[in-house]
Amino acid sequence: MLFSELGLSAELLRATRKQGYEVATPVQQRAIPLILEGQDLLAGAQTGTGKTAGFTLPLLQRLQQSEPTNQNHRIRALILVPTRELAAQVGESVRTYGIYLPFKSSIIFGGVSINPQITQLRRGVDIVIATPGRLLDHIQRRTIRLDNVETLVLDEADRMLDMGFIHDIRRIMKVLPARRQNLLFSATFSRDIRQLANQLLDDPREIQVARRNTTAEQVSQIVHPVDKSRKRELLSYLIGDGNWRQVLVFTRTKHMANRLSQQLERDGLTAAAIHGNKSQGARTRALADFKKGKIRVLVATDIAARGLDIELLPHVVNYELPNVAEDYIHRIGRTGRAGQDGQAVSLVCVDEKKLLKGIEHLLKQDIEKIVIEGYEPDESIRPVAIKNGGNKGNNRRSSRGQHPGGRPDSRSSKRPNGRRGANARARARNGSGGTTSRSRRAA
Ligand code: AMP
């Protein structure tokens, strides 16, 4: 279905054409007419489905219809998002699609000075895109008025709940007018999301669109069993040996993301870490460099990677398995490119066997296990329980609304030998290295 068939205004159609978009994605086809009718909506859609335009376009149109000249600049639409990156991206979309409309928008998140935000708000804006923590700051300082909000969007609501934002969301709801349109977007519909939807939405319509990638078809998944102490070495080897040029690597914690990125740099690979403790500038720079190909390996925590608008990648590596099985699907949904296969590789040590079982149970399939020669796990190492650091199990968040993170399990397992070390480093530096890794199936 074309955008031109969805009842959008000439200004909005012009803006979508400017982006080169003619055909609406499934979530857009279904959400846009419902939102234009003024319905409340519960939408199951994740990053990459085109959901942002799916709510931004009709939201702008409703503002345009109800007050076309727009002289007052009162906040009439509020979009709540879990992370700064997503706030920046959604803000960009609001500007992009609203380019031929007179509305002003403002992006509000923590970790940066509050004063420019106050100045902007004082001058008057129509649309606010905000993370909950900083928005509450503004509410408490009385630097924002939300009593004219007509439309509320909760984007990536499941993430907001995972990050412990539920109380902030409830407090924000209290200062909004009771009569308003509510749109809730979430990648998954857990019990908590259903509960939030029940409290928030009025007779909602429900839509669900397929994930960008439901694992099996486009993404080949492989597990390499390996000792924890040799994961870094194996990763460098795989990148160098396969001549992978753009790799997104996931760790469970910020600490591990930092450490790994530094170690990879020492192996001769350009790498950067992206997580909640990095300044906004550093995160934006790392992402831009990764997209341009200046950085070969981007090491990210789940929360930091969520909502990043990175084109689908050929290689995603789970350096550490996530504590929560659903995050595995989010992670590997980043790989696979139009028509091409993507590869999701998981480096799994003995401590993570239980997590792997949980993931396989969720996927309803076993993932192929391949032991790389020279990196055979030492069978004598006993598993150690993994603490819930840096993932969903730990629901408290820091005052800035960032993901809590935590220290990784610092136990170092016995290192069998260092046979691959020098080779791996040399291959990583040389790019392809020319040899194919010999491997054999795990028993
Ligand atoms: P989102 O799911 O909102 O994060 O969007 C994912 C990407 O798809 C963004 O880069 C959008 O610019 C792009 N996009 C959104 N709508 C369309 C469309 N109808 N056709 C092609 N690309 C789109």
CB 130, CB 87: distance < 8 Å:
yes
CB 168, CB 140: distance < 8 Å:
no
Q: Do both 284 and 233 map to the same domain?
A: yes
Q: Do both 114 and 225 map to the same domain?
A: no
Q: Which residues contact 169 (CB under 8 A, 6 or more apart)?
A: 80, 132, 154, 160, 196
Mean pLDDT of the chain: 84
Q: Do both 108 and 161 map to the same domain?
A: yes
Q: Do both 364 and 345 map to the same domain?
A: yes
Distance 24 CA to ligand 1 centre (A): 9
Confidence of residue 341 (pLDDT cuts 50, 70, 90): low
Distance 150 CA to ligand 1 centre (A): 25
Exposed, middle or buried: residue 268 (CB in 10 Å: 0-12, 13-18, 19+)?
Answer: middle
Distance 53 CA to ligand 1 centre (A): 7
**Looking at residue 353, what DSSP letter applies?**
H
The confidence score (pLDDT) of residue 237 equals 95
Round to whole Å and give the CA distance between 198 and 35: 18
Q: Is the pLDDT of residue 408 over 60?
A: no
Round to whole Å and give the CA distance between 227 and 376: 8
CB 260, CB 319: distance < 8 Å:
yes
Confidence of residue 117 (pLDDT cuts 50, 70, 90): very high
Q: Smallest Cα–Cα separation from 211: which of 347, 58, 328?
A: 328
Residue 214 lies in a domain: no
Residue 266 lies in a domain: yes
Q: Is the pLDDT of residue 141 over 60?
A: yes
Mutating to test ligand 1, I would choose from 4, 16, 25, 209 the residue with most ligand atoms within 8 A of its C-beta, which is: 25
- In which domain, by residue range, is 265 found? 219-442
The pLDDT tens digits for 415-433 are 334 444 444 444 444 443 3
Six token digits for residue 210: 């397929």
Cβ–ligand 1 contact at 306 (below 6 Å): no
Q: Is the pLDDT of residue 143 over 80?
A: yes
Q: Do both 158 and 195 map to the same domain?
A: yes
3-state secondary structure of 403: coil
Residue 213 lies in a domain: no
Q: Detail the DSSP E strand segments found in 332-389.
A: 342-348, 368-372
For residues 317 and 26, the model is more confident at 317
The confidence score (pLDDT) of residue 336 equals 64
183, 208, 233 - which closes a domain: 208
Round to whole Å and give the CA distance between 276 and 300: 10
**Looking at residue 335, what DSSP letter applies?**
B
Atom of ligand 1 nearest to the CA of 19: 12
The confidence score (pLDDT) of residue 236 equals 96
Distance 48 CA to ligand 1 centre (A): 6
Round to whole Å and give the CA distance between 324 and 301: 13
Mutating to test ligand 1, I would choose from 4, 8, 19, 308 the residue with most ligand atoms within 8 A of its C-beta, which is: 19
Q: Do both 229 and 368 map to the same domain?
A: yes
CB 241, CB 425: distance < 8 Å:
no
The pLDDT tens digits for 263-321 are 999 999 999 998 877 777 888 888 889 988 899 999 999 877 765 666 668 899 999 99
The confidence score (pLDDT) of residue 70 equals 62
Round to whole Å and give the CA distance between 414 and 376: 13
Q: Smallest Cα–Cα separation from 44: which of 132, 155, 151?
A: 155
Q: What percent of the chain has pLDDT over 70?
A: 81
Residue 82 lies in a domain: yes
Round to whole Å and give the CA distance between 352 and 224: 12
Distance 332 CA to ligand 1 centre (A): 19
Once rounded to an integer, what is the mean pLDDT over residues 200-223? 76
Residue 270 lies in a domain: yes
CATH number at residue 275: 3.40.50.300
Q: Detail the DSSP E strand segments found in 178-277.
A: 181-186, 205-208, 219-225, 247-250, 271-274
3-state secondary structure of 397: coil
Residue 97 lies in a domain: yes
Round to whole Å and give the CA distance between 312 and 11: 30
CB 114, CB 90: distance < 8 Å:
no
Q: Detail the DSSP E strand segments found in 321-443.
A: 342-348, 368-372, 439-441
CB 77, CB 148: distance < 8 Å:
no
Q: Do both 37 and 112 map to the same domain?
A: yes
Q: Give me the number of domains the chain comprises.
A: 2
Q: Do both 110 and 187 map to the same domain?
A: yes
Cβ–ligand 1 contact at 212 (below 6 Å): no
Q: Do both 147 and 286 map to the same domain?
A: no
Q: Do both 315 and 408 map to the same domain?
A: yes
Residue 389 lies in a domain: yes
Most confident of 41-50, 325-334, 422-431: 41-50
- In the chain, the amino acid numbered 138 is H
Q: Do both 371 and 426 map to the same domain?
A: yes
179, 208, 237 - which closes a domain: 208
156, 187, 208 - which closes a domain: 208
Residue closest via CA to ligand 1's atom 17 equals 50
Q: Do both 356 and 384 map to the same domain?
A: yes
The pLDDT tens digits for 224-254 are 999 999 999 999 999 999 999 999 999 999 9
The confidence score (pLDDT) of residue 225 equals 98
For residues 275 and 367, the model is more confident at 367
Residue 166 lies in a domain: yes
The confidence score (pLDDT) of residue 387 equals 74
The confidence score (pLDDT) of residue 339 equals 47
Round to whole Å and give the CA distance between 85 and 99: 21
The pLDDT tens digits for 309-322 are 666 688 999 999 99
